[in-house]
Amino acid sequence: MSTPLSSTTPIRHFLTVDDLQPDELLAVLDLADDLKAQRPRPGRGPVSDFGTALAGHSIALIFEKSSTRTRVSFEVGVRELGGHPLVLNRDQLQLGRGETVADTAKVLSRYVHAIVLRTFGQDRLETLAEAGSVPVVNALSDLAHPCQAVADLQTIREYKGGLSGLKLAYVGDGNNVAHSLLKAGAMMGMHVAVATPPGYAPDAQVVDEAIELADPSDGRITITTDPVQAVEDADVLYTDVWASMGQEAEAAERAAVFAGYQLNTASLDLARPDAIVMHCLPAHRGEEITEEVLEGDASVVFTQAENRLHAQKALLLTLLGRA
């Protein structure tokens, strides 16, 4: 009988950041640091394949929304681990012509060793995971951006030397990025304070789950409409676009509602003197963050973007049992 490729190993999915236990998340961060330390830097000679950990592994990278960082970092990362990345845009697949997610999952599971998907509804990722027989990774959905959160934790550790006890202030829309930060920060014992305009708070169920995750780690969650309360004494200031992919029609209305929820020099003045500034990118300068702050000394946004590569390599090795 023919069997899917991964039938002999337990399947680990990464659809939300708490699909990893806190100790597993810490191990991924340690591995990401090791991978970063080992990698030759661009500009100092070719960055050629130096790993064979994923030799013989093909990984499908499916994008139903635009992407620069996620797409390129996964493609380069899989290649650097000796694997074969297949970047597939929705309109290149029968998925774009109405083939079901479940049938796509069953078919791809016969060819590839893991599927990375960027999509709209979280239900599409869940269906892919249920119907397929290989690990599924959420490369961003309307609900969550867990790969971003892993890279964000790696970045915070890099600059702050640890995570537990730090205050992260997220100011802006209670969106996918905020959801994953809430959970990831809670798992690591951080105080995550989210300030949004009324009506744009994070999903109530995600907040409840984050509060539960914060309990064993002595983390803390604050949800407020007051950006000053959030940023006061923060170690990390974080923001994201006011209108996410799929919300383009609301952009003008949101720009008015979110005007008081910008990261600017006044926010930095309220934060701790050594606070760092983060943004998942792409940024809309002059909207959720000023040019001055995005390009200022406190900003770590491009290291944060780089760390997507290292964090996702560590994640794939872990999920595929190659760590």
Nearer to ligand NVA (CB atom), residue 131 or residue 147: 147
Is position 203 annotated as part of the catalytic site?
A: no
The label of the residue with tokens 């340690």 reads: 30
Strand order in the sheet with 220-224: 220-224, 191-195, 167-171, 236-239, 276-279
Q: Where are the beta strands (DSSP E) in 129-255?
A: 136-138, 167-171, 191-195, 220-224, 236-239
* Letter string b/e over residues 154-170, b meaning 16 or more CB atoms within 10 A of that residue's CB: bbbbbbeeebeebbbbb
* Helix H or strand E encompassing 116: strand 114-118
Is position 148 annotated as part of the catalytic site?
A: yes
Of 145, 179, 220, 310, catalytic: 145
In whole angstroms, what is the distance from residue 189 CA to residue 211 CA? 11
* 245, 255, 270, 323: which one binds ligand NVA (CB under 6 A): 245
Of 57, 113, 148, 191, catalytic: 148
Tell me which residues in 267-306 interact with ligand CP (CB under 6 A): 280-281
DSSP one-letter code for 203: P
In whole angstroms, what is the distance from residue 304 CA to residue 300 CA? 6
Which window, 54-62, 66-74, 162-170, 190-198, contacts ligand CP (CB under 6 A)? Answer: 66-74
* 57, 69, 113, 124: which one binds ligand CP (CB under 6 A): 69
Is position 157 annotated as part of the catalytic site?
A: no
With contacts defined by CB under 6 A, how many residues of the chain interact with ligand CP? 8
* 7, 9, 21, 68: which one binds ligand CP (CB under 6 A): 68
Which window, 55-63, 151-159, 174-182, 188-196, contacts ligand NVA (CB under 6 A)? Answer: 174-182
Residues binding ligand CP (CB under 6 A): 67-70, 140, 148, 280-281
